[in-house]
């Protein structure tokens, strides 16, 4: 059984053992030899849920609302197919050059990329003020393509088209990571930014 299928089976088993009935996320970390290890279970939709939606075609928010209303969730695990590759970049009002210091302020201009397989989840607009009291995330840019290489190319294009004027964001930081040889050759790990970045 492929690693992805094994992880899915382990997640289903974990949810079944505790009689969990709703949308949620079970996280694992995968090692170089494709062994995987449980991290945590979140009984809520994760920030990264658009990636799952893009590769499965399932609207997880709609599913969660239907389940909460008592409607049956009629999609069987065995029938869920993963198609292609998806990448999500969280866009934050922060300054990576200064230890990711928050960068609240007024968004003076906004140009959002579009096209097939490109999605932007956000509520901001030109004239929106990012306040210093809350999470610094201003949006999530998500792409989907047939392969990892095509998804990277699509995200690079989408990030280059994205414009959030008036405050500092981590957009350029995402571009640097996506162009980094370690990322391109899949040599990153959970401590990569601390130990190997630059």
Q: What are 96-111's pLDDT values in tens digits?
A: 999 999 999 999 999 9
Pairing of strands 137-145, 85-92: antiparallel
Same domain, 17 and 106: no
Same domain, 102 and 72: no
User: How many domains does the chain fold into?
Assistant: 2
What does the mean pLDDT of the chain come to? 91
Domain that holds residue 30: 3-79
pLDDT value at position 154?
98
The residue from 79, 114, 134 where one domain ends is 79
Question: Is residue 187 among the annotated active site residues?
Answer: no
Choice among 44, 101, 111, 187 that is catalytic: 44
Domain CATH number, residue 177: 3.30.470.20
pLDDT value at position 135?
87
pLDDT value at position 98?
93
For residue 35, is pLDDT > 70? yes
pLDDT band at 5 (very low <50, low <70, confident <90, very high): confident
DSSP assignment string, 105-149? EE--EEE---STTEEEE----TT-EE-TTS--EEEEEEEEESSHH
Same domain, 46 and 63: yes
Mean pLDDT of all residues in 32-49: 87
Question: In degrees rounded to 5, what are phi and psi of residue 55?
Answer: -85, -15
Instruction: Name the residue with higher pLDDT: 115 or 24.
Output: 115
Same domain, 55 and 18: yes
Type and span of the H or E element at 26:
strand 25-30
The residue from 47, 62, 79 where one domain ends is 79
For residue 129, is pLDDT > 90? yes
Residue 122 near residue 164 (C-beta atoms within 8 A): no
Same domain, 91 and 176: yes
pLDDT band at 1 (very low <50, low <70, confident <90, very high): low
């Amino acid at each position: 059984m492929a690693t992805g299928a094994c992880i899915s089976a382990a997640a289903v088993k974990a949810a079944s053992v505790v009689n969990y009935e709703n949308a949620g996320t079970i996280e694992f970390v995968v090692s170089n030899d494709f062994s995987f290890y449980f991290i945590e279970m979140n009984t809520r939709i994760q920030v990264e849920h658009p990636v799952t939606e893009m590769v499965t075609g399932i609207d997880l928010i709609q599913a969660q609302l239907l389940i909460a209303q008592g409607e049956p969730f009629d999609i069987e695990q065995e029938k869920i197919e993963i198609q292609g590759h998806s990448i999500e970049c969280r866009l934050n009002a922060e300054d990576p050059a200064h230890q990711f210091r928050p960068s609240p302020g007024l968004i003076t201009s906004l140009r959002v990329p579009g096209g097939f397989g490109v999605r932007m989840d956000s509520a901001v607009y030109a004239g929106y003020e990012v306040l210093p009291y809350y999470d610094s995330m201003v949006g999530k840019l998500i792409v989907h393509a047939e392969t990892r290489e095509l998804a990277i190319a699509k995200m690079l294009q989408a990030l280059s088209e994205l414009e959030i004027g008036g405050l500092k964001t981590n957009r350029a930081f995402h571009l640097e990571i996506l162009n980094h040889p370690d990322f391109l050759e899949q040599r990153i790990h959970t401590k990569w930014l601390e130990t190997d970045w630059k």
